[in-house]
């Protein structure tokens, strides 16, 4: 049985989640700042939801190669976020998603993690395309996407209803051929 990969960067270790991470996932992802600009993170974060989510990660990986990595600090092993590739094998593509806990924002951690995940996606997973999208009022996420070489592909107006308000989303993507060059 294939094990989910662990990736290492200068300051970070991206590793599979374990059930021991559940309380920290609930605490960090449970803040309003994280729910505010993500689509699928519930708020308030329900008791037991982190365990349930972590438990399904291995099946997802076995099923289609989708991975969610715990973003941890190399020095202290502290969990500080999540970065994921949701793979659509039939079309050779994956959606990149991420969140970093509030206290760690603005230190380049997400960019560092996302760069490595892109390398994994194209070199190991042999994907043809990696894409991502963000709410237009969340330019920090767009900056991460452009930092790692993704290109803006378009905007969908009022595509998402968040906190009862319709919001625009902006799409970014990168192809394997662009990544190699």
The residues that touch ligand COA, with contacts defined as CB under 6 A, are 33-34, 37-38, 98-100, 105-111, 134, 138-141, 143-144, 147
Helix (H) / strand (E) containing 120? none
CA distance 160 to 40: 11
CB nearer ligand COA, residue 109 or residue 122 = 109
CB of residue 66 to ligand COA, shortest distance in Å: 17
Return the number of the residue (96 or 125) whose C-beta is nearest ligand COA.
Answer: 96
Alpha-carbon distance of 13 to 126, in angstroms, equals 22
Provide the 10 A C-beta neighbour count for residue 59: 10
Nearer to ligand COA, 2 or 40 (CB): 40
CA 150-116-134 angle, to 5 degrees, is 40
CB of 142 to ligand COA, least distance (A): 7
- Distance CA(153)–CA(142), nearest Å, equals 12
**Residue 149 Cβ vs ligand COA, minimum distance, rounded to whole Å:** 13
Q: How far is the CB of 47 from ligand COA (least distance, A)?
A: 21
d(CA 44, CA 122): 35
Give whichever of 6 and 146 is closer to ligand COA, judged by the CB atom.
146
């Amino acid at each position: 049985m294939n094990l989910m990969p662990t990736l290492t960067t200068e300051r970070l270790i991206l590793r599979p989640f374990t059930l021991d991470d559940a309380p920290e996932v609930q605490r960090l992802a449970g803040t309003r700042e994280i729910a505010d600009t993500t689509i699928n993170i519930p708020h308030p974060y329900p008791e037991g939801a982190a365990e349930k989510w972590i438990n399904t990660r291995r099946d997802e990986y076995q099923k289609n190669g989708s991975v969610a990595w715990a973003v941890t600090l190399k020095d202290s092993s502290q969990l500080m976020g999540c970065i994921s590739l949701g793979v659509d094998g039939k079309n050779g593509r994956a959606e990149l998603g991420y969140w970093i806990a509030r206290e760690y924002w603005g230190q380049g951690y997400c960019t560092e993690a996302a760069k490595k995940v892109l390398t994994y996606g194209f070199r190991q997973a042999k994907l043809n395309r990696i894409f991502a999208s963000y709410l237009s009022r969340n330019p920090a996420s767009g900056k991460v996407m452009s930092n790692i070489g993704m290109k803006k592909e378009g905007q969908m107006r009022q595509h998402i209803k968040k906190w009862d308000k319709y919001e625009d989303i902006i799409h970014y993507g990168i192809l394997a051929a662009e990544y190699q060059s």
